[in-house]
Structures are given as C-alpha cells and as structure tokens.
Structure 1
Amino acid sequence: MKQQTFSNLQTHWKFRHCHGGTLRTSSKGRGARPLSSKDPIHLVFKVNMTAVSKGLRSPRNFSLLNILLKKYARKFFVKIEQFSIQSDHIHILVRGSRRSAIQSFLRVVAGQFAQCLTDTFTKRHEGERVWKHRPFTRVIRGFKPYKVVRDYIQLNEMEALGRMYSKTRLRGMSPEELRELWA
C-alpha cells in the first residue's frame, strides 16, 4: 500500500488563512501555517487549566505574560496591535515585517509562556501539557474582517474585566454599543 504524503494535501477554502487550534485534529488544518508580512494576524493560545494553577488572569501570571509579550515583540520586531488575556486563553493581534520573525515570535512566546507558567527553568515538567492545542493563527485580509477581530478582542477583554457574557455578542451589537465598547 502506498504511503500517504501530506505535501500535496489541499486545505479547504474556508480555512486557507487559518492554522492550528482544533483544525489540527482534522485534515483541514494540516497544511503549512499561512503567515503574512503585510496583513495582521490573529493569534490564540489556549491553555490547559489543569496544568496552570489559578489561570492566566491571576496577578502573577497576568503581569508575567504582559512582560513576555512586550519583550519578545521588541526582540523579533513584531508589532502587537491588541491583546486580551482571559483565564484560559490569550488573543493577540500582531503584524510582522518578515515571516521568519513572526514564526520565531510564535515559537519563543509559546515556549516562554509554558516555562514561566510551570516554573520549569531548572527542573523537568512532569505534569500535563501547558497548551491544549497548537497556537491558532488566522491571517486577516480586508478591513471588515480586521474590524470584526478588533471588536472581538476588545469584547473579550471587557468580559474578562466583568462585562456580562452574551451568546449573540458581536452579532447583536448596535453601533452605540460598539462605541461604548471602545469608550
């Protein structure tokens, strides 16, 4: 029986700008990670709550994540346009000048988050994995999708700060509510 190769695996057209997360479990997300040096990229890191005590919004973890994000954004010349840290996941909207810089930023930030959250600089981590899935990335093409992602990240931040959660969220928001979101 001939061995299956993944080099010619075609991604479904809906997911051509997405990679990682739960897409990785199906054949839809197994192509190369699409990255762009011209367009913004939406990143989502999903943490395994059993591996990280107190979640990401605890004061220690929150300040640590802020410091690491800013440090490695400067190092790899990646501009962080917006980010939101929830108790179990992180949303980041970034732009980079080179594909290799964005790849390095993704790799180093994920590794440093995991090492700092589990204190594994001197000892080996024997518990569960820190990340639930590989980081989800989506290249944002066009102004309308960019605006939707910006509003979504802002809404997530407001919900982390105490705003009531609603299932309709962005779909049911009026222009006045969107202005209030950014006030």
Structure 2
Amino acid sequence: MKQQTFSEINSPWNFRYCHGGTLRKSSKGRGARPLSTKDPVHLVFKINKTAVTAGLRSPRNFNLINALLKKYARRFFVKIEQLSIQRDHIHILIRGGRRSALLSFFRVVAGQFAQVLTDTFTKQHEGEKIWKYRPFTRVVRGFKSYKIVRDYIQLNEREILGRPYSKTQLRGLSEEQLRELWV
C-alpha cells in the first residue's frame, strides 16, 4: 500500500516523471524527484554562462567532466548509456540500481563539477552561482520515448561537432537522416 501511494505523486500528468530545471520555479516541479531503477533517466545539467566563461567544451573542462562522470558512475553503480557535453549544458542518459545511489550520483557530480569548474579547491569562489537551475531529470518510460531521447542526445552531440542546427530538431528528420545521425 505504501509503494502505491508513493508512485502516485501529486503532480500534473505531463510532469509526473520530470523534476528540476525550470519546473522548480512553478508548483509543478516541487514534489519528490521521480526516479526509476528499471527505466533510464535523462539528466540535464545547465550552467550559468557568466560563471564559467570558457564553457564546458574547452579541452580542460571537457576532459575533467568526462573523468568525473566515469569516476562517480563506477562509485555509485550508474551506467552511462549516452553523453553529450555542450557549451552550456550536459545531457546524460543513465540507468541506476538503487534510488539512493542515483540521488547520491546527482548530488556528488553536481558538487564536483562546481568545485572543478570554479577551482574552489585552491581558492574561495566569490561570484555567481555556477548552476542556472537544479539538475533536470526525466524518467524515460517506454521504447518510443527512449528512442526519442536517445536520438535527441545524439543530435545535440552532432550539432556541437558541426551539423547545422534546426529548430524542428527531430520532428523534421526522415528515417534516413535519423540513421545518418548514428553513422
């Protein structure tokens, strides 16, 4: 009975599996963070551009972020299925074993990113906050939505590597163009 009441979070149906980001500013995103140990989770970290002037794609920051993600994914038994690091945000598609491990992964990775990017190991940071929003998570339920998120992350990675940006994103792509993303 207790688990049934936990699964029915009091939030609108289209935000039932989402938490953080801009949702936090409205009443829709203020419940418990929905997580699943069976389904993948789409995780987005968005930085404040003025706090990190070099961006996340600078060689130093890019390598540090990759190393931190690998280190803490091993520590918290989280499998990173897909990753895309942009100039001002990071998309990660992950799977985890336990809810507590996933929450610890989010907390530790966000803290370590902030410490490394602002270099607070050697000096005290006295500037703007590094994170623009709290980490956004969405539980990806079903194969169709999994495929859409997976293709979206791949499209983001291709755009940062030189593919032209389109406003329609995945909606305007044919099957051939979607296959081309993965080549």
TM-score by length of 1: 0.94
The residue aligned with 1:5 is: none
- How far apart, CA to CA, are the structure 2 residues paired with 1:175 and 1:117? 39
Residue 56 of structure 1 aligns to which amino acid in structure 2?
L
Count the aligned residue pairs.
Answer: 176
Q: Per-residue CA shift, 1:82-136, capped at 9, x if unaligned? A: 0000000000000000000000000000000000000001322110000000000
Q: Kindly report structure 1 stretches of 4+ aligned residues shifted beyond 4 Å.
A: none
**Residue 102 (structure 2) pairs with residue 102 (structure 1):** yes
Identity of aligned residues (%): 77
- How far apart, CA to CA, are the structure 2 residues paired with 1:99 and 1:138? 14
Residue 116 of structure 2 aligns to which amino acid in structure 1?
C
TM-score by length of 2: 0.94
Residue 139 of structure 1 aligns to which amino acid in structure 2?
V
- How far apart, CA to CA, are the structure 2 residues paired with 1:123 and 1:173? 47
What SS is found at the alignment partner of 1:43? strand
Q: Per-residue CA shift, 1:48-98, capped at 9, x if unaligned? A: 010002100000000000000000000000000000000000000000000
Cα shift at 1:12: 1.1
Listed as ranges, the gaps of 5+ residues in structure 1 are 1-8
Cα shift at 1:169: 1.4
Q: Per-residue CA shift, 1:29-65, capped at 9, x if unaligned? A: 0000001111000000000010002100000000000
- How far apart, CA to CA, are the structure 2 residues paired with 1:63 and 1:121? 18
**Residue 30 (structure 2) pairs with residue 30 (structure 1):** yes
What SS is found at the alignment partner of 1:70? helix
- How far apart, CA to CA, are the structure 2 residues paired with 1:158 and 1:36? 28
**Residue 39 (structure 2) pairs with residue 39 (structure 1):** yes
**Residue 83 (structure 2) pairs with residue 83 (structure 1):** yes
The residue aligned with 1:175 is: 175
Listed as ranges, the gaps of 5+ residues in structure 2 are 1-8
The residue aligned with 2:3 is: none
- How far apart, CA to CA, are the structure 2 residues paired with 1:138 and 1:75? 22
Trace 1:1-183 onto structure 2 (pairs within 5 A): 10-183=10-183
